[in-house]
Amino acid sequence: MTDHGQELAGVDQALPVRQVLEGEFVNGMSPSPRVSWWRWFVNGWRRSPRVPLWAKDRVHAVQVAKDVVVAVLRSPFRFVGAVVRGLVVAVRWWRSWVTVRDYREAAEQSEKLADKFGDIRALTLFRWKVTGAVAAVVPTVGLVLWLLYGQSPLWFAGAVTAVALAVLGRRKDGSPGRRPVLAGPRTLTWTMDPQVLVDAFRDAKLIGKDETLRLVHRATRQGEGWAVTVDLPATRKAVDVVKNRDALASALAVDEIQLNVERVRGSGGHAGRVALWVADEDPYSAPPTRTPLLAVQRWDAWRPVPFGTDARGGRIDLPLVWTSLLIGAIPRQGKTMAERLAAAGLILDPHVRLYVADFKNGKDWKAAEQVAHRFMAGDDSEHVLRFVDWLVELVADVQARYRRMQELDDLTCPESKVTPAMSRDIALGMPITALVVDEVQIPLEDRTPVEVQGKKLTAGEYCGELLMWLAKKAPAAGVILLLATQRPDGKTIPSGLRAVLGSRFALRVMDWRDSNIILGEQMNTRGYDSSRLLPSHKGVGILRPDGETQAGADVLALTVRTFYMPNEDWREICAQGRALREQEGTLTGHAAGQTTPARLDHAAVARAIAGGAPAPVEAERVAEVELPEPLASVVDYLADDDGRDFVPTAELVEALGVEPKGFGLDMAGFGCRPTRDRVTTDDGVRQVRGYDVADIRAAVERVRRAAVVEAEVIDDGR
């Protein structure tokens, strides 16, 4: 509180001077509504941890009621079965008792069976006499009771005996005659009896014989299947269950495509909590669903694009801004349709600029010609060279965007990233730009020789370097890469390019190695292998998103069935995208009839990309830079061998006479990371660690260029 009385007195003497208080306005005229006792009771009931879940939620209450009805209907049969098992257990126990098995086994273990033979014989005879006496007394007592009191005592005694046998014969693991034996398929048995689920985990060797599961959420109906959440025993990990999903599916007697296993993460989960969902039938056998984009007039590219559905039928949206997407599959598995689905949301945003390169040269992308800023369809060398010009244009555009960001204030550009407002500001010239490439393996494999600032290389190598640079730096500037290939192998898609592509979508491939090339290393060991998808499942693949989807931000990957978008729907979306651009005045480039390409600065681009050739004026100065050790020794060692793509670490260590650990740290400081590759030795083909020769040459260029820049800075300072 602050006293402003004197200040107010100086302003107007006629007004009374009072103390002025500073504070927040609170509407105190209307009293707070009184909470009724019923609402207070309901809130307390729903929040109480002591109230079971079925008593709080209607869905769970209905499910519990169904379970109770089923249990009541099954109870007579279960009681009879328990009595029979109890009778079997009682007979086995009596046989063991009357034959003095416990006494005999103790004598055998102490190696005194011969000394105790007489005692065993006497005890056996005594127990047989007891058995005979009981067998004579029990019917006699029953007959006397029947003569004195009628049938009521006999019925009571029979009921007590049956209950005792049922308790004795209850299902309990580890005891003879008490193991549950299932007849027929076990598909839905576990929804009624959780013990069956425990047995399935044991049969799949996911838990031990003496271990059990803890039920977190009981089996409930979700979609066209059943869902349950369990906690594994201590030291057991959920990732092992995900990895061995096929073994668990076999134990549950369902096809593995019907079983969805996920680790529960976040605040409500931990490393040993598993969520299971078992479909009633193949979730991908039904006809596919058409894309929901047909029902919208326009879309916001900053929103995730509707991409497909998961096994439960829930919609999965794919975030595209600030990331890149790689789609891989063998032919005729829905690769092009998946890429068109990702591009459809961008087409319906009139502020998005599109570069579309169709190296398949079919009709799949023909409709995009009316909205694309750059469009090309063909698979000849001239098309590859034109594509190179596109990439150079995009690299120069990204560099110009970053330079303009430096001049913007923090309110307009809080970070070195494009914002939604910046992308829609025509004056800034930073629209979201998508580079869509179908059959990207064609330009990456092109052997047409090109010369970039004095350096000779193939068009495919230059495309790879440009795409790698764009995938690293362009997403933050608003440039998205959508790449699709039907040849997902290590030679076609460079490892450096794959490593910087954030989102991956792998449809069916032929080999787990191809699946790992798309999704990432060791993904098959985590339970994600697209080579195990069925051939009949068109459009079904494993999605590894870079960003949060409906499945959560912590989900590593999930199986998705893409929406269906035939050519007529695709043409309709492209026509709507053109109408929106004409309305907003954002139709440019090829779609607007502007065929004159932009001015290309190959020299600046070559200096920008990693591993690019320096400008001619710098070439001589760069070549004179003396390299530091051990990089200089490695270059000298490889100077006489131009045909190698990979050199083992052990060979370099032996040839240079250096300490392995220190050598690895020094090479890492130059940006050379070791990798694994197969080499031919005297013992056959072996997988060894080493370095890619291309990475070493790139490190050499970086070191020399950095030395030249440092020298120029020193000269300018002088």
pLDDT in tens, 147-196: 888 888 888 888 888 888 888 777 554 344 444 443 344 556 666 667 78
Name the pLDDT band for 717 (thresholds 50, 70, 90). Answer: very low
CA distances, 334 to each of 163, 358, 615 (Å): 61, 16, 43
Taking phi over 0 as left and psi of -120 to 50 as alpha, with beta for the rest, 255 belongs to beta
Say yes or no to pLDDT of 619 above 60.
no
> Which of 330, 615, 630, 324 is CA-nearest to residue 478?
324
Mean pLDDT, residues 368-376 = 94
Question: pLDDT digits over 406-456, tens only?
Answer: 888 888 888 888 999 999 988 888 999 999 999 999 999 989 888 877 778
pLDDT given for residue 172 in this prediction = 52
For tokens 């650990």, what's the residue?
Answer: 661
pLDDT given for residue 185 in this prediction = 44
Say yes or no to pLDDT of 355 above 90.
yes
For 134, which DSSP code?
H
Alpha-carbon torsion angle 488, 494, 500, 504, nearest 10: 0
Query: Which residues share a beta bridge with 680?
Result: 685
Say yes or no to pLDDT of 620 above 50.
no
Q: Pull the structure tokens for residue 427.
A: 């004056």
Say yes or no to pLDDT of 26 above 80.
no
* Secondary structure (DSSP) of 517-569: HHH-TTTGGGT--GGGS-TT-TTEEEEE-SS-BTTBTT---EEEEEPB--HHH
Residue 692 neighbours by CB under 8 Å, 6+ apart: 495, 645, 646, 675, 677
pLDDT given for residue 489 in this prediction = 72
Encoded amino acid at 495, one letter: S
pLDDT given for residue 563 in this prediction = 94
Question: pLDDT digits over 688-709, tens only?
Answer: 888 877 778 777 777 776 665 5
H/E/C letters for each residue in 306-370?
EEEECCCCCEEEECCCCCCEEEECCCCCCHHHHHHHHHHHHHCCCCCEEEEEECCCCCCCHHHHH
Say yes or no to pLDDT of 532 above 60.
yes
Say yes or no to pLDDT of 373 above 90.
yes
Name the pLDDT band for 710 (thresholds 50, 70, 90). Answer: low
pLDDT given for residue 554 in this prediction = 60
- The Cα 658–Cα 47 span in angstroms is 66
Higher pLDDT, 219 or 614: 219
Instruction: Report whether 539 contacts 288 (CB < 8 A).
Output: yes
Winning range, highest mean pLDDT, from 30-34, 197-201, 235-239, 338-342: 338-342
pLDDT given for residue 467 in this prediction = 92
The rounded percent of the chain whose pLDDT value lies above 90 is 21
- The Cα 409–Cα 682 span in angstroms is 64
Q: Encode 432-446: b = buried (16+ Cβ within 10 Å), e = exposed.
A: bbbbbbbbbbbbbbb
Name the pLDDT band for 716 (thresholds 50, 70, 90). Answer: very low
Average pLDDT, the chain: 79
pLDDT given for residue 5 in this prediction = 45
Say yes or no to pLDDT of 526 above 60.
yes
